[in-house]
């Protein structure tokens, strides 16, 4: 799988340093065709919370915990304030993706 520029879909890209923020560092790329910079999208683009928090909340909810209990757990153990509606939206947005990746993981074992 090769990386393509999100603007022009060109494969003429080169690695050019890292972008660092509170979530860690990610590889930056430069498209030589359209002269644009980009970072590969991991599916959690423009999300306020770390992907680990989001996936853990979805797994807790799918394992049978209520939205209120998930919200309380995140506040008590991680000091993260989210609403039940936010957790529900995360579940709708990412549950299908997480289910497909766990089924792939089970098929390999």
pTM: 0.63
pLDDT of residue 82: 93
pLDDT of residue 98: 66
**Run of H or E including 69:** helix 67-78
pLDDT of residue 42: 72
CA distance 45 to 56: 17
Within 10 angstroms of residue 107's Cβ, the number of other Cβ atoms is 7
Domain co-membership, 59 together with 19:
no
Domains in the chain, number: 2
Q: Is residue 75 in a domain?
A: yes
CA distance 98 to 54: 11
Domain co-membership, 55 together with 104:
yes
Domain co-membership, 67 together with 36:
no
Q: Is residue 86 in a domain?
A: yes
Domain co-membership, 104 together with 83:
yes
- Residue 13: strand pairing partners: 31
Per-residue pLDDT of the chain (109 residues; tens, 9 = 90+): 488 888 998 888 899 899 887 767 888 999 999 989 888 877 777 778 888 888 899 989 988 999 999 999 999 998 999 999 999 989 888 877 766 555 444 444 4
């Amino acid at each position: 799988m090769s990386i393509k520029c999100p603007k022009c879909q060109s494969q003429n890209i080169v690695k050019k340093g890292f972008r660092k923020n509170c979530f860690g560092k990610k590889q930056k790329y430069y498209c030589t065709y359209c002269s644009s910079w980009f970072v590969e999208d991991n599916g959690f683009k423009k999300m306020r919370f770390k992907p680990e928090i989001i996936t853990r909340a979805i797994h807790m909810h799918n394992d049978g915990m209520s939205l209120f209990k998930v919200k309380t757990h995140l506040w008590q153990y991680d000091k993260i304030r989210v609403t039940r509606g936010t957790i529900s939206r995360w579940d709708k947005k990412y549950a299908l993706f997480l289910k497909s990746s766990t089924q792939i993981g089970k098929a390999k074992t």
